[in-house]
Structure 1
């Protein structure tokens, strides 16, 4: 079920104008899910336009919020509403606000923690031989694995910027998907690593090195042994392979995938997927040559 307190759940659903038969369906659903991950039976998602369905495999027992004016044959359980995005994100925010982490943070005694550093008392795991410099903020839902070094002034596990119209107003959606920083990552000063959104956590692969001022947005998956120089910005849900190099001040658009061995030139704006061992440069970035 989506939420154990039926009366509270019914109240928010009725405030959204949902009918009793729809509320019953949602009570029996398993989870809300975004379309950037494979849908499963019992999941609830939404589409704003018919064309969004063309590249999506939707199980028959998935529930999809769709616009009432769309007239096509449904091969799944459609829930017709006026504003699919509004209804979905309203329910999403309601459920996220209800989540509470009760597990006490676990910090290995072999860690070194600097002055004026703030670590959440709940939901954090820090393994052995981690070094955390001064003035770092670590929010709940963060896992930092052994041998990692965090530079001064970093913020790890902060909310991302996903702004949606909801029943609560036009808000920044809650991010509670977590952050995992794998073994032997090194992070320079003033980096920001956002929480994942939904079930898609933010991850940084082992032995990756970040210079100062790097921003990694929600649900990115950064591969192992990447080198990320100063002030590189990653939009949400970027996926990188291993041994990828990012030059100074590069910007990677949300959802872009970069294969193993890529090289992104300084100041480049990457708006499309990059193939294995490709050197790209420019604004927008274009293929220059293969990396030897």
Structure 2
């Protein structure tokens, strides 16, 4: 899609420099090969946008544009409220199947689907030998691989929690992405796996295991063989590496990454990214050894 086409969708905008894009995203979002349209409402985020090589187009204000600080190679749209316009465009494009096209369900003959499960009537894939227990709901936009087990009460492909405060009202942001469950994943009882919001995917890679009452929010990516125990809450756009352990009732804030082979101990509240091979504890979580030293110091 080209920026000039947006004029037909949302009026009262001005295209300064046309550009083709095929995804929407934030400055700090990690992309593959997408050509991304982002927004800039505050110039303090300009460096992050310039560093993200996937961003090819930008929505910003006339005031920021007039400062001549935006790289000339970026497509450019002017709007009074860039963030609001960004999400208005996203909501419209979600309805128009910009992110992914609806398709007929594809459920393997060897998959075992309980009569008590509910599978939406389009855009669901369930692979070979997968088991869907009673009380499971699988929403459209859910791609479930081979040998996956989803235990009773869990929900796959639910709407992400994304809202925009604009003065005296709150705008609901539509969930435009998918939920992808790779082969050999096991999801225990009463878990929730949201779809991605901005056309990206929430992904659980091979051999990920979720214990009971785990919430995987929109656009989270969980690496191979990572084990997530009961009651864990992940906010949106969290990236967890391979072979990690997330302890009981841990909470991880949005937009951060946890490196490979890391351990988050029970009840930890993680508010910043953690490098590979780390163990962290506490609220707010710090290196486990430092946490133990602190506990000993106050006894």
The Cα shift of 1:120 comes to 1.5
In 1, Cα distance between equivalents of 2:208 and 2:34: 36
Gaps in structure 2 of 5+ consecutive residues: 291-299
Aligned to 1:66: 60
Query: 1:8-65: per-residue Cα shift (whole Å, max 9, x none)?
Result: x645322xx224x56x94xx63334212135979642201211111133366993211
Q: Distance in 2 between matches of 1:186 and 1:39?
A: 27
Match of residue 86 from structure 1: 84
Please, what TM-score do these two structures have when normalized by structure 2?
0.85
TM-score when normalising by structure 1: 0.87
How far has the Cα of 1:80 moved from its partner?
Answer: 2.7
Shift of 1:177: 1.1
How far apart are the structure 1 equivalents of 2:232 and 2:52? 36
* Equivalence for 2:294: none
Superposition pairs of residues 10-89 of structure 1, within 5 angstroms: 10-14=7-11, 17-19=12-14, 21=15, 25=18, 29-34=20-25, 35=27, 36-38=29-31, 43-56=36-49, 57=51, 62-70=56-64, 71-75=67-71, 76-89=74-87
Conserved 8 A contact 2:3-2:75: no
Inter-partner Cα distance in structure 2 for 1:121 and 1:114: 16
The CA distance in 2 between the partners of 1:250 and 1:163, in whole Å, is: 24
Show the counterpart of 2:126.
126
Q: Could you say if the C-alpha distance between residues 165 and 92 of structure 1 is closer, same or farther in structure 2, counting changes exceeding 3 Å?
A: farther
Contact 1:111–1:127 (Cα < 8 Å) also in 2: yes
> Cα offset for 1:102?
3.5
Structure 1 unmatched runs, 5+: none
Check 1:40–1:243 CA distance in 2 against 1; reply closer, same or farther (3 A cut): closer
- Residues 1:272 and 1:61: Cα distance change in structure 2 (over 3 Å): closer
Instruction: Confirm or deny: 8 A CA contact 2:268 2:284 kept in the other structure.
Output: yes
Matches within 5 A, 1:160-179: 160-165=160-165, 170-179=170-179
1:219 and 2:204 equivalent? no
